Structure 1
Amino acid sequence: MPLSLAKPYIKQVKVGNFNHYPAKRLAMAEARLTYRQCRRQLQRLHLKY
């Protein structure tokens, strides 16, 4: 996943908003990613913080 698409995820995680992910839906629409790919990316970022 390109860094530019990962930034919105990281921003959401830093804010600590684990309930709603508008950034995830935006990235999915822009990159045509599957929900599974987004979920996997989010899980990786959650482990970092």
Structure 2
Amino acid sequence: MAAGCQALRLDVLGTNLPAQKLYTAMGFQYRTTLKLFYEDTGTTDYLLYELVL
């Protein structure tokens, strides 16, 4: 773990239910949903998860 790190954060496509279940099972907590732009998906809903270290 890097010094000073307090949390791990990740985002997942709103339609990716298997990943959402996996992250929740690993202790990540849902924080919010945002519309984000990535070249391969365009503007899409992403769920943001966080794991406090």
Return the TM-score normalized by structure 1.
0.40
Structure showing the higher helix proportion among its residues: 1
More relative contact order, 1 or 2 (CA 8 Å, 6+ apart): 2
> Structure 2 length as normaliser, TM-score?
0.38
Q: Which structure's residues are more often strand, by fraction?
A: 2
